[in-house]
Amino acid sequence: MPANALDVLDARGLISAASDADALRRALDRPLTFYVGFDPTATSLTAGHLVTLMMAHHLEQAGHRPILIAGGGTGMIGDPSDRLDTRALLTHEDVAANVAAIRTQLERFVDLSEGDALVLNNADWLAELGYLEFLRDIGRHFSVNEMLATDTYRNRLDAGENLNFIELNYRLLQAYDFLHLYREYGCTLQIAGSDQWSNILAGVDLIRRVERTQAFGLVAPLLTTAEGAKMGKTAAGAVWLDPGRRPPFDFYQFWINLADGLVAQALGMLTTLPMSEVAALRDLRGPDVRRAKQALAHNVTATVHGREAADAARETARSLFADATGDAEAVPTTLVTAAELEAGISIVDLLVRTDLAPSRGAARRLIAQGGAYVGESRAADPEAIVNRSQVPDDGLLLRAGRKRYHRVVVGP
RNA sequence: GGGUCGGUGGGUGAGCGGCUAAUACCACCGGACUGUAAAUCCGGCGCCUUUACGGCUACGUAGGUUCGAAUCCUACCCGGCCCA
């Protein structure tokens, strides 16, 4: 008899609230169908989505059926949760493209190849809703007083920010999704991050009122930075799961560079390591915390980008930061044509080309402040030119600051 | 629809005719120290360049007044509050 999924999630620190824990535990004794939604606001998911993806992963492992919703319908609206500003509306085309792109990423976490796991687009049922019908059948179950009393909406009002009608309706649509999935697929559990708690409860309530059935909600704590900000974004941009937007090596490095205080939590929530191993890693102190970070980074990178990419990232990181053995295979690479190199490229241009500097001015600044390296040597002269002869066959390694690396390779 | 207040750089938010590429704080970047961590200290943080008391662009949008405008005027767009 395998452990109850609720206990598995709880042990990993993935539960922040459950709508009726005792009844849910009983329900999880037998296979059930659960769902989790993702807003298609970009062509890639980010590190911030990992928490719910892992929840789904563990539930599936425990024998439950996942339904993953790429929210093409709700994505048209924009979730106001946790935001004080109004979201920009996405076009139909954007949403469709994003949904398609995200779908492939979901497969990393949930096995869609066999069994009856589903990926659905809620636009399929939301788009055909009749307004009058929706108001009459669904809208009547929602109290505006109650909605305005919840943090999500009250914060907006208290802050003197605009809250438009579209956003007020987001909750109804999400609740309707849950109802629809219950009716069509027998889905009785919705999971998400804790910012979705009240939206989920709205769905649970709706199902109870309309179907006279108990459904459940389960939310995970949000991983936050040391400052309490939502994790998953850095100044350099979001931590995309798409290898094209955030190379696996950089993704690995993101986890290595995580603040110590977050490591214990992240090990439980985001890795697939057995809890016995997690417990041991959590006991590490001082410089040894790096070992925990390596385990974290490798495991998460392997989940997202595959074992091979994770191994390569780890080897490269070791050679760059530890022993300087091994090679820098996995460092993000930019191709520069032989012709360009024959003519010579200024170091400033190269820093911009490789995204190590956002502008030429920033590149000059970087050099002036002593933060730019070409190979092993610190670049002192912003006017310096890099020639073909300076680029070895395996590429010229550029460095910005202490730990941002990029390689230049002679291309066609 | 009426009244009123407001829209400034990634965020909060000063400035209210020249001294302002624009105070301050946060975030961020580089250096030192370290454990590829945190804290701390130092420097930086619109774009371009021949790096210069240089050029260009920028304070919701479009015009206007002025030798000179983020700062004044007009119209429009967007938002808060009050009234309907």
- Within 10 angstroms of residue A43's Cβ, the number of other Cβ atoms is 17
* pLDDT computed for residue A238 by the predictor: 76
- Among A306, A287, A301, A293, residue whose Cα is nearest residue A266: A293
* pLDDT computed for residue A99 by the predictor: 80
The answer to which of A49-58, A191-200, A217-226 has the lowest mean pLDDT is: A217-226
Looking at every residue in chain A, the average pLDDT score rounds to: 87
A282 touches strand B (CB under 7 A): no
Residues 39-68 on chain A lying near strand B, CB distance under 7 A: none
Which residues have C-beta within 8 Å of that of residue A396, sequence separation ≥ 6? A374, A375, A386, A390, A407, A408, A409
- Please report the beta strands in A276-376, taking only residues with DSSP state E, as ranges in sequence order: 333-337, 345-346, 372-374
Q: In degrees rounded to 5, what are phi and psi of residue A118?
A: -130, 145
* Helices and strands, counts by H and E, chain A: 18, 15
Nucleotide at minimal C1' distance from the A321 CA:
B36
Nucleotide at minimal C1' distance from the A357 CA:
B29
Residues 379-408 on chain A lying near strand B, CB distance under 7 A: 382, 400-404
Nucleotides in chain B with any atom closer than 7 Å to protein CB? 26-32, 34-39, 43-49, 51, 79-81
* Token pair listed for A271: 């890795």
8 A C-beta contact, residue A147 and residue A93 = no
Which residues have C-beta within 8 Å of that of residue A150, sequence separation ≥ 6? A198
Which residues have C-beta within 8 Å of that of residue A394, sequence separation ≥ 6? A327, A328, A409
Binning pLDDT at 50, 70 and 90, where does residue A273 land? very high
Partner residues linked to A192 by β-bridges: A219
A365 touches strand B (CB under 7 A): yes
Give the mean pLDDT of A286-292: 93
Residue with tokens 């309706």: A169
8 A C-beta contact, residue A268 and residue A277 = no
Judge whether residue A88 has pLDDT over 80: no
- β-pair type (A17-18, A216-220): antiparallel
Q: How far apart are CA A156 and CA A395, in angstroms?
A: 51
% of residues, chain A, pLDDT over 70: 90
Judge whether residue A139 has pLDDT over 90: yes
Give the mean pLDDT of A302-329: 86
Q: How far is the CA of A46 from the C1' of B31 (A)?
A: 31
Give pTM, 2 decimals: 0.90
Q: How far apart are CA A233 and CA A231, in angstroms?
A: 6
Q: How far apart are CA A339 and CA A351, in angstroms?
A: 18
- Among A203, A330, A272, residue whose Cα is nearest residue A54: A272
Judge whether residue A87 has pLDDT over 50: no
Which residues have C-beta within 8 Å of that of residue A91, sequence separation ≥ 6? none
8 A C-beta contact, residue A179 and residue A210 = yes
* pLDDT computed for residue A48 by the predictor: 86
A361 touches strand B (CB under 7 A): yes
A235 touches strand B (CB under 7 A): yes
The answer to which of A56-70, A90-104, A162-176, A343-357 has the lowest mean pLDDT is: A90-104
Q: How far is the CA of A377 from the C1' of B50 (A)?
A: 27
Q: How far is the CA of A311 from the C1' of B27 (A)?
A: 33
Binning pLDDT at 50, 70 and 90, where does residue A303 land? very high
Give the mean pLDDT of A193-210: 93
Angle at A337 between CA A335 and CA A339, to 5 degrees: 165
Q: How far apart are CA A241 and CA A262, in angstroms?
A: 20
* pLDDT computed for residue A83 by the predictor: 44
* pLDDT computed for residue A75 by the predictor: 63
Give the mean pLDDT of A90-98: 72
Nucleotide at minimal C1' distance from the A253 CA:
B36
The 10s digit of each residue's pLDDT in A161-195 is: 888 887 788 889 999 999 999 999 999 999 999 88
% of residues, chain A, pLDDT over 90: 57
Judge whether residue A240 has pLDDT over 80: yes
A25/A71: higher pLDDT? A25
Instruction: Write the DSSP assignment of A186-239 as a string of letters.
Output: -EEEEEEEGGGHHHHHHHHHHHHHHH----EEEEEPPPB-TTSPBTTEETTEE-
* pLDDT computed for residue A405 by the predictor: 93
Q: What is the DSSP letter of A68?
A: E
